[in-house]
Amino acid sequence: MKKMTNKRILLLSTGGTIASVASEEGLIPGKSGAELLHTLGGLPYEIEVKDILSLDSSNIQPEEWAFIAEQIYKLRRGFDGIVVSHGTDTMAYTASMLTFMLQGIDLPVVLTGSQVPMQAILSDAPDNLRVAFAAAATCKPGIYIAFNRQIMRGCRCVKIRTTGFDAFKSINVDPVAMVTSDGIDIKHKDFEYVPSEHAICTLNTKVETHVAMIKLFPGFDPAVLSAMVDSGVKGIVIEAYGLGGMNYMRRNMVKAIGEIIQRGVPVVACSQCLYERTDLTKYEVGRAAMLEGAISGRDMTSESAVTKLMWALGQGMDLEDVRAFFNKDIAGEVTITD
């Protein structure tokens, strides 16, 4: 049969449930990228496969982010797009970090995985992988996640389900594209955020790993923050309440963050709410934190905020540089309205 397209796509496999097999210890990655493709049957692309890791994504950490970014950067020449098969548990973090490590990416890089191993008869893997290939062949340059018939900007994604097939949501922006009965239906408005084909792709994998992310809860002891800084933490993301509020009564979070900011450690205030944005100007409890120097995470996901902070600190940025960096949209991860 005649091929529908001669697009050249590279599959980089890293493990995850999609590649997992049963073992006495539980599911572990065991299938190669070639085996995944074989199960899928034919696809109308010229595909090359490289197995670069074989890990449950719970084991994917900054060292693996750097390695995946290097592989993409090094191998991308001559391909129209790249698919990265990856576990779902940390896929949103990897996609967010790749956005910062590979700024100006000059081809579509599409992460995908599944909730059920490829070899299971009713697995979601074949569909997800097919959509990822179609996205890698069709979409503009950028870092994406393809899952459950949606193609989403990677740095806006959050994993919202442990087992359901609708495992990822694009937060605060629509998915870039959906699969409909007409094929890939691209939402052009969101496409404007994606870097142009003429952008110069840079690889920069330096990150600061001594950062912390804390979910605030009533009764949290603010002394923990300074103890963290004493032990070498260089930046903190706080998932604060609602629009970004923090308590100052009895246990004074506001004072505690002021003290660590005075020590040169940036504090980014995100929200525990999944949707919409932080606004530190609205309530006294947010304004107090802002006056102490907290940086607003605006409408970023926590995944994007913590990876952006790690990357910024990895570049040697100081407190004011980090603040300025968070006031900029690097690759569609945040909406700047002022």
Q: In whole angstroms, how close is the CB of 157 to ligand ASN at the nearest point?
A: 14
Q: Which of 14, 88, 99, 112 is catalytic?
A: 88
Q: In whole angstroms, how close is the CB of 64 to ligand ASN at the nearest point?
A: 12
Clarify whether 94 is annotated catalytic: no
Q: In whole angstroms, how close is the CB of 95 to ligand ASN at the nearest point?
A: 13
Dist CA 22 CA 29 (whole Å): 9
Dist CA 110 CA 151 (whole Å): 8
Smaller CB separation from ligand ASN, 56 or 80 = 56
Q: In whole angstroms, how close is the CB of 61 to ligand ASN at the nearest point?
A: 13
Q: In whole angstroms, how close is the CB of 81 to ligand ASN at the nearest point?
A: 22
The Cα diameter of the chain in Å comes to 73
The three state secondary structure string of the chain is CCCCCCCEEEEEEEECHHHEECCCCCCEECCCHHHHHHHHCCCCCEEEEEEEEEECHHHCCHHHHHHHHHHHHHHCCCCCEEEEECCCCCHHHHHHHHHHHCCCCCCEEEEECCCCCCCCCCCCHHHHHHHHHHHHHHCCCEEEEEECCEEEEHHHEEECCCCCCCCEEECCCCCCEEEECCEEEECHHHHCCCCCCCCCCCCCCCCCCCEEEEECCCCCCCHHHHHHHHCCCCEEEEEEECCCECCCCCCCHHHHHHHHHHCCCCEEEEECCCCCCCCCCCCHHHHHHHHCCCEECCCCCHHHHHHHHHHHHHCCCCHHHHHHHHCCCCCCCCCCCC
Smaller CB separation from ligand ASN, 103 or 148 = 148
Smaller CB separation from ligand ASN, 53 or 225 = 53
Smaller CB separation from ligand ASN, 87 or 195 = 87
- By the criterion CB under 6 A, which residues form the site for ligand ASN? 16-17, 56-58, 87-89, 113, 115
Clarify whether 335 is annotated catalytic: no
Smaller CB separation from ligand ASN, 161 or 263 = 161
Smaller CB separation from ligand ASN, 115 or 170 = 115
Q: In whole angstroms, how close is the CB of 162 to ligand ASN at the nearest point?
A: 9
Catalytic site residues?
17, 88
